[in-house]
Structure 1
Amino acid sequence: MKRRETGSPTRHHGVDVRLGASGWSGTRVADTLATEVPVALIYNGISHAVMMASPADLADFALGFSLSEGILAHPHECYDLTVHEESLGLAVHLEIATQRLVELKQRRRSLAGRTGCGLCGTESLEQAIQPIARVQAPPLSDSAIQRALTSLADHQPLQAATGASHGAAWCDTSGHIHLVREDVGRHNALDKLIGALSSDSRSEGGFVLVSSRASYEMVHKSASAGIGALVAVSAATTLAVELAQEAGLMLVGFARPGRHVIYHHPTPDDEGATAIVTG
């Protein structure tokens, strides 16, 4: 499967910095901005989705999106994947199994979203809330969550350079970060991570840490990839908590130094518990 990449995730741009204690004065400097481009996902020659994304790790993005959206059930159902630069953006061409293409056509779903918007273009309420897979939550300690949180910034070079990207990190149960993907969209960052993990044996028995809120889709995408625990630096939504309970997924939010909120911690009888942990 080909994985040619194209495009830089950052660009330099001249800006005016306005500051001064006794009045505003301007200084012209070069700033580093995060690149955001339209990315078309094309399956067997048929355009299915156009997302705004960072032009890096697009092979991981396309594969992860295909898996988390249920277009593919397994990575091996993608026979070929190439990234092409076009006049208006980037196009990822995927050659997938015939049966999967037939099912994709039957769904009649065409997405054209803003940054990481995965529900734009959904045609009905039934399509919006899809069944969620059951997962096994790993044994996860408070110290592991805090350890991963403390080191996340060190693994986000795009965020450090631009201040305009989200990160999704794969962490082992001790809280050590093994793999990170970044994007201007939080959904995209998670899809990129899922794509990268699909061929990585380290995806067993760990958890995902995201630099965003825990929405319905973040929980759903995690469960679709068999991920049993999701930790977010911001809050969870009500639907995210409900789906985490349904899936048996451990859901943690407001992960900040010295504290985090456990929205759902599966127990043997799968009853949720809510707690606040402080350091």
Structure 2
Amino acid sequence: MDGGRDDRFLACVAEEEAVAFRYNGFSHAVMMATPADLEDFALGFSLSEGVIGAPSDVSGMSIERAESGIAIDIVLAGRCLHGYLSRRRVRQSRGYAGCGLCGVEDFESLPRPVARICRSEPPAREAIIAALESLRSWQPLSRSTHCAHAAAWVSPDGSIRAVREDVGRHNALDKLIGAGLRGDFRTTQGFGLVTSRCSFEMVQKAVAAGFAALVFASAPTALAVRTAEAAGLRLYACLRERGPLLFANPAEISS
């Protein structure tokens, strides 16, 4: 209170909880995340981690509140389980909301480039701009708390098909990937849009999910561009008055 004026106001804050991933009873990682769209998160995280290759690799899932957070128990099917156990690694630390590589022990544990993705028609500039202009209306968590990232899937005409939010940008993208795996959209039709900076692990997640084009709200790192080029991912960034700029174009890269 200053000079008789009461400056207090009611503010909404975003939830952030520990979310533990277990596969067939084996602990894998603990991520700090917004406790929403957890089935999407489980599928998207499992795909981007390389644990599964398709939704059919998951034969069951349960989500329960534990003493210190939320436990997601995922049951892997047949050959997927055998593959997971043969290459199983456990993150050695908690995965915080802003970090994509927490707990990786050495260089050999870093994610490797995957096979090149299928080419598709590049998104139109008008579609990118239209999606950016309408995205805010799809972000209730961000509007109320001012601290959440969003990842969206956009149709070729610029209309938004799905949006997932989280305090962590990696989590938001994983949730969107999971939504696609559950049938909310097809990655062969449209492009991804993320309200965050573009780092190489975000590109790798999109490539693992089969995205053909990805748009970010800020410029990418050099490693993100090289990773996108190697995989055949069109990578855009929207830089305020300059509009969407193309940083990686598979049409210019020999197969």
TM-score, scaled relative to structure 2: 0.91
Residues 150 and 257 of structure 1 are in contact (CA less than 8 Å); yes or no, is this contact kept in structure 2? Answer: no
Q: What does 1:124-143 align with in structure 2 at a 5 Å threshold?
A: 124-135=106-117, 136-143=119-126
Instruction: Give the counterpart letter for 1:140 in structure 2.
Output: P
2:65 paired residue number: 85
Residues 137 and 250 of structure 1 are in contact (CA less than 8 Å); yes or no, is this contact kept in structure 2? Answer: no
1:95 paired residue number: 75
Residues 137 and 248 of structure 1 are in contact (CA less than 8 Å); yes or no, is this contact kept in structure 2? Answer: no
| Sequence identity (%) | 46
Q: Quick check: which one's strand share is greater?
A: 1
Q: Are positions 1:120 and 2:88 aligned together?
A: no
Q: What is the CA–CA distance in structure 2 between the aligned matches of 1:77 and 1:214, rounded to whole Å?
A: 29
Q: What is the CA–CA distance in structure 2 between the aligned matches of 1:255 and 1:200, rounded to whole Å?
A: 31
2:200 paired residue number: 216
Unaligned regions of 5+ residues in structure 2, if any?
A: none
After superposition, what is the alpha-carbon deviation per residue over 1:179-208, rounded to whole angstroms, capped at 9, x for unaligned? 000000000000000001013263222100
Q: Are positions 1:175 and 2:155 aligned together?
A: no
More off after superposition, 94-103 vs 34-43? 94-103
Q: What is the CA–CA distance in structure 1 between the aligned matches of 2:66 and 2:153, rounded to whole Å?
A: 32
Change beyond 3 A, Cα 1:188–1:251 = same
After superposition, what is the alpha-carbon deviation per residue over 1:119-158, rounded to whole angstroms, capped at 9, x for unaligned? 1111221221412231224321111111111111011010
Residues 215 and 239 of structure 1 are in contact (CA less than 8 Å); yes or no, is this contact kept in structure 2? Answer: yes
Q: Are positions 1:30 and 2:13 aligned together?
A: no
Change beyond 3 A, Cα 1:133–1:201 = farther
Shift of 1:261: 1.9
Q: What is the CA–CA distance in structure 2 between the aligned matches of 1:222 and 1:152, rounded to whole Å?
A: 19
Q: What is the CA–CA distance in structure 2 between the aligned matches of 1:257 and 1:208, rounded to whole Å?
A: 21
Shift of 1:93: 0.8
2:175 paired residue number: 192
Shift of 1:27: 3.4
Q: What is the CA–CA distance in structure 1 between the aligned matches of 2:44 and 2:241, rounded to whole Å?
A: 30
Q: What is the CA–CA distance in structure 1 between the aligned matches of 2:90 and 2:148, rounded to whole Å?
A: 25
Change beyond 3 A, Cα 1:105–1:210 = same
Shift of 1:255: 4.5
Q: What is the CA–CA distance in structure 1 between the aligned matches of 2:123 and 2:193, rounded to whole Å?
A: 12
Shift of 1:97: 1.5
After superposition, what is the alpha-carbon deviation per residue over 1:25-66, rounded to whole angstroms, capped at 9, x for unaligned? 653333110000000011111110100000000010011110
SS at match of 1:27: coil
Higher relative contact order (CA 8 A, sep 6+): 2
Match of 1:62 among 39, 42, 48: 42
Residues 144 and 174 of structure 1 are in contact (CA less than 8 Å); yes or no, is this contact kept in structure 2? Answer: yes
Instruction: Compute the RMSD of aligned alpha carbons.
Output: 1.9
2:243 paired residue number: 259
Match of 2:23 among 43, 49, 62: 43
Unaligned regions of 5+ residues in structure 1, if any?
A: 1-17, 272-279
More off after superposition, 187-196 vs 89-98? 89-98
